[in-house]
Amino acid sequence: MPESSGRFPDEDSGWILSSAPPPDRWDDWVEYDAASWPRKVERRYALVPTICFNCESACGLLAYIDKFTGKIRRFEGNPVHPGSRGRVCAKGPATINQVNDPERVLYPMKRVGERGSGRWVRVSWDTALDDLAGRIRAAIVEERRNEIIYHVGRPGYDGTMDRLLQAWGVDGHNSHTNVCSAAARLGYALWHHSDRPSPDYERADFILLLSAHLETGHYFNPHAQRIIEARARGARVAVLDPRLSNTASMADHWLPTWPGSEAAVLLAMANVIIDEGLHDRDFVRRWVNWEAYLKAEHPEAYQRSQERGGSQPGGDGIEVFFDTLRQVYAEFTPEFAAAESGVPAEKIIEVARELGKAAPAVSAHIWRSAAAGNEGGWQVSRCLQWLVILTGSFATPGGTMPASRDKFVAAPFSKPPAQTDWNDLCWPLEYPLAHYEMSFLLPHFLKENRGRISTYFTRVYNPAWTNPDGFSWIEVLRDEEKIGCHAALTPTWNESSYWADYVLPMGLAPERHDIMSQETSAGAWIGFRQPVLRTWRERQGEAVELSHEANPGEVWEEDEFWIELSWRIDPDGSLGIRQWFESPYRDGEKLTVEEYYRWIFENSVPGLPEAASEEGLTPLEYMRRYGAFQVKSGDYRYYDRPVALPGVDGTTPSTADSESVTAESESITAESESVTAESGATGRGPEKDPESGIVRVDGDVVGVEIDGEVLEGVPTPSRKLEFFSETMCEWGWPDQAVPNYIRSHVHWQNLDRDAGEVVLLPTFRLPTLVHTRSANAKWLVEISHRNPLWMHPADAGRVGIATDDLVRINTRIGHFVVRAWVTEGLRPGIIACSHHIGRWRLPASPGADRWHSSVVELTEDGNKWSVRQLEGIKPFGSEDPDSSRIWWSDAGVHQNLAFPVQPDPISGMHCWHQKVRLEQAHPGDRYGDIVVDTAKSHAIYLEWLARTKPAPGPDGLRRPLWFSRPVRPIDDAYLVKKKESAEDSP
Ligand code: SF4
């Protein structure tokens, strides 16, 4: 292999470019053809970078384009991508399967006959675009903007759709977040506004995972490689997981907690750390809003702390806080946590000590896992981050950074104003603190006639399959009164597109443009997803006007689709939409995708123009050539930076840095605005609130005074890390204002084990698959195509089940039948089933790929639905000879169909874990059978809904202004109007 050019080593990590072609040879890379061995037959390749789209990590890929055939031969890792550093998981190279999948959709299709009849005709893009544009234009002109909804599963972009929807003036963004990460996000956001963690694994001394990052996780490959490196240099790893994941098996400590007991364990660890003096007293004194807590909840203690100097550097008022914590959290002894979790007290103490001694280099992560499974799961991430803060490991080398500091969102050439509407179908009053849209409840909202959708876009989203309670989705997807037109933007057929009106083929990872940035490590980078064949052709000097000219069939890329659609919605510009899609370089002309990214790279990415210039390239050429750029290095202890104040050193306040480089910027601004509105101060110099220490200039919060110095702080109302959340008090949850343990709905006390009741964990990922988007990758499917039910021998013995036996799992709305796998890899009382598998299609109609789906019959009787598998996976004929060599037949079981919705009353997160009854299959049961009653699922939805505390909150708001919100509307839209308040509030 050729040696590195030496231009791109990551000096911090010691990584050397040695396992991939150096960039200066990417135009003409020569290899011998492996299939021709022992003859030496040369193959010449052009290597073009792009970004993987088989999970959220956004690893860099290199497309190997055969210069003779002009076809993509394979994908490997891009060695100059700062996040993935040339490495990929199995799903990255499998992108080639998706590109060559004979089952993929290549032309726009329109349904004929009734929705769901399974009959389709090929139509032109003009037909589809004109029809959709007419519908959307009518909705906008007739002030029915809230009838337009764009529902995305995996957003492969940063900001593009926000810009589009705001150009339309539509509050119609809907996401998958509440079946994924909403709970963890709330826990983090309450601490420091940013709602995700970014652990600095590379430099960590102790890594605490409530996840399975070595095999899946957020962000799998970039994180896994850094955790492995940390371990190799001696970092210790502890994993809390009821299941022996690959990650747990590699850890120094596996703590198999009972599902939902994790917060109790973490609070017990906090007690050990405080009792043994392993906490960072001074960090907590300076940066935690402990005085506000004492003042609000323990006024006598507050008085005592003030008498002992409060938070002043020389005093020891902070000790009163720690004394108070000892009393408030006295219940959380290691013994109590052991009783709750089943993990021995000695193990909890041992891990707590190791963790405390590793301060301030403790990296911790949770994303789905316990947060996504349990009622109150958001308190698990809140307690986890408490350990990080307590040990002073917040935003330190080796510690845990808020994600927004390790992410860069580049601004486009123009930004439409925020929309004025608020869409209750996405943001209902009942969930004012949800992170984010209550998307998985949409069918129930539509059934309750809370609204109607005239145009519904789904993108990288298969709601009937991915969400719980899929039959409720099918009931509304097929109802033209509730959803006027459904356009599925998808590369492949899926269970939901079956009920669409249009199926519009969209490009895969190497067939479209996007910019990605993920918090994979300390610092921030951007990656450029690009259509590799288009780029290669352009390198050859060929003119390519639109990406679909280089893509297979008539596959469009989304950017060009949305530009064209917007242009047709407002062809003469009279609606004010067209202006946002006019070129920044050519007056009044339609924007091209090249111009869109060219402007961003020339103007919005610090350092990129200079780096490009050094190589004699334009910024766009640089990104097309290398596919990634490191924007900044680790922003450690950013909160501790002094703020330059006007009149003090003659400069303006230095908040620009924090706002220019992070995804938080929009919300920081919004927060500042709200504070401005409250203070009413204008045109004045620095003003300090004597109690909180918050400093404003012209009414805008610029920092907080600590130990006599004005520092940047974190973007919370107190500008400090909020142990105590006044927001939770104001919005009706004073009992949850501080890190706390909420007993899960699947707490062991709620189980009748003798009656076969167990807890089902349906959330774990497989390393080789992601939801519905990897089903058209034959290599991956060959590896993973079954989802047997994990169960402990004790449970199997109790019910009389052996490996491969059929078992019936009874949920509250029905049951499903699956095969057992008896293993000691999880604790007794718990069963587990991966959610990636169980794809299905209906007979003789387009549906999920044949590589990975069974043929099923759906039967409907009133509210009762049933699924029966008619045949499994079989070989089939196609232009890919491998399709006739398929040897596997099992497609797994679609368990999510049998799950009721269980929205956490506070975070809005669907609580995936559930109490189920395990029994032997009944006579007549067949593998893959599913039976569901959607009337029961609606009743359960109402049960959970009744436990919410709806808006309005303080000042008549729908949601705290300082919370972030995707596609944020104007502040006035946050107000619950009087009429709504009277009529709509439950
Ligand atoms: S972790 Fe794997 S699937 Fe995810 S982006 Fe990286 S290579 Fe692709």
Pocket-testing residue among 76, 221, 520, ligand 1, by greatest number of atoms within 8 A of Cβ: 221
pLDDT at 599 over 80: yes
Percent of the chain with pLDDT over 90: 86
pLDDT at 352 over 80: yes
Provide the pLDDT for residue 540.
93
E strands, 353-481, are 362-366, 400-402, 453-459
Ligand 1, CB within 6 Å, residue ranges: 52, 54-55, 57-59, 84, 88-89, 91-92, 220-221
Backbone dihedral angles phi then psi of residue 632, each to the nearest 5 degrees: -160, 165
Amino acid letter, 293: Y
Which pLDDT band, with edges at 50, 70 and 90, does 848 fall under?
confident
User: Which of 263, 775, 270 is CA-nearest to residue 494?
Assistant: 775
Pocket-testing residue among 50, 59, 62, ligand 1, by greatest number of atoms within 8 A of Cβ: 59
Provide the pLDDT for residue 18.
56
Provide the pLDDT for residue 979.
53
Query: Does residue 246 contact residue 217 with C-beta atoms inside 8 Å?
Result: no
Query: Does residue 785 contact residue 852 with C-beta atoms inside 8 Å?
Result: yes
Provide the pLDDT for residue 958.
98
Nearest atom in ligand 1 to the alpha carbon of residue 92 is: 7
Q: Which residues of 820-844 are buried (b: 16+ CB within 10 A; e: fewer)?
A: bbbbebbbbbbbbbbbbbbbbbbee
Query: Average of pLDDT values for 613-633?
Result: 97
Residue 590, beta-bridge partner list: 582
pLDDT at 90 over 80: yes
For residue 73, how far is its CA from the centre of ligand 1 (angstroms)? Answer: 19
For residue 757, how far is its CA from the centre of ligand 1 (angstroms)? Answer: 37
Query: Average of pLDDT values for 303-329?
Result: 96
Contacts of 204 (CB under 8 A, 6+ apart): 230, 235, 358, 361, 362, 363, 398, 399
E strands, 153-222, are 173-174, 197-199, 206-210
Rounded distance between C-alpha atoms, residue 53 and residue 62, angstroms:
13
For residue 606, how far is its CA from the centre of ligand 1 (angstroms)? Answer: 26
Contacts of 233 (CB under 8 A, 6+ apart): none
pLDDT at 649 over 70: no
Query: Does residue 856 contact residue 874 with C-beta atoms inside 8 Å?
Result: no
More confident residue, 808 or 770: 808
Amino acid letter, 179: V
Query: Average of pLDDT values for 141-156?
Result: 94
pLDDT at 650 over 70: no
User: Which of 788, 800, 750, 749 is CA-nearest to residue 918?
Assistant: 800
Query: Average of pLDDT values for 621-646?
Result: 95
| Among protein residues, the one whose CA lies closest to atom 4 of ligand 1 | 55
Which pLDDT band, with edges at 50, 70 and 90, does 158 fall under?
confident
The predicted model scores a pTM of: 0.94
Across the chain, mean pLDDT equals 92
Name the DSSP class of 41. -
Amino acid letter, 77: G
Pairing type for strands 853-861 and 806-810 reads: unpaired
Nearest atom in ligand 1 to the alpha carbon of residue 89 is: 2
More confident residue, 665 or 849: 849
Provide the pLDDT for residue 770.
83
Provide the pLDDT for residue 977.
81
Rounded distance between C-alpha atoms, residue 24 and residue 235, angstroms:
36
Provide the pLDDT for residue 836.
83
Which pLDDT band, with edges at 50, 70 and 90, does 683 fall under?
low
| Among protein residues, the one whose CA lies closest to atom 2 of ligand 1 | 89
Query: Average of pLDDT values for 50-76?
Result: 96
Provide the pLDDT for residue 656.
36
Contacts of 114 (CB under 8 A, 6+ apart): none
Pocket-testing residue among 50, 57, 154, ligand 1, by greatest number of atoms within 8 A of Cβ: 57
Provide the pLDDT for residue 659.
34
CA 799 to chain centre: 38
- Inter-CA distances, 385 with 266, 275, 535, Å: 10, 18, 44
Rounded distance between C-alpha atoms, residue 740 and residue 719, angstroms:
22
Rounded distance between C-alpha atoms, residue 487 and residue 475, angstroms:
17
CA 353 to chain centre: 32
User: Which of 904, 897, 925 is CA-nearest to residue 813?
Assistant: 897
Structure tokens at 519: 């918090």
Backbone dihedral angles phi then psi of residue 109, each to the nearest 5 degrees: -125, 145
Provide the pLDDT for residue 645.
86
Query: Average of pLDDT values for 248-253?
Result: 96
pLDDT at 118 over 60: yes
pLDDT at 658 over 90: no
pLDDT digits (tens, 9 = 90+) for 365-421: 998 889 999 999 999 999 999 999 999 999 999 999 999 999 999 999 999 999 999
Structure tokens at 762: 């349906």
pLDDT digits (tens, 9 = 90+) for 184-242: 999 999 999 999 999 999 999 999 999 887 877 788 999 999 999 999 999 999 999 99
pLDDT at 679 over 50: no
Provide the pLDDT for residue 981.
46
pLDDT digits (tens, 9 = 90+) for 523-556: 999 999 999 999 999 999 999 999 999 999 999 9
Provide the pLDDT for residue 772.
79
Percent of the chain with pLDDT over 70: 93
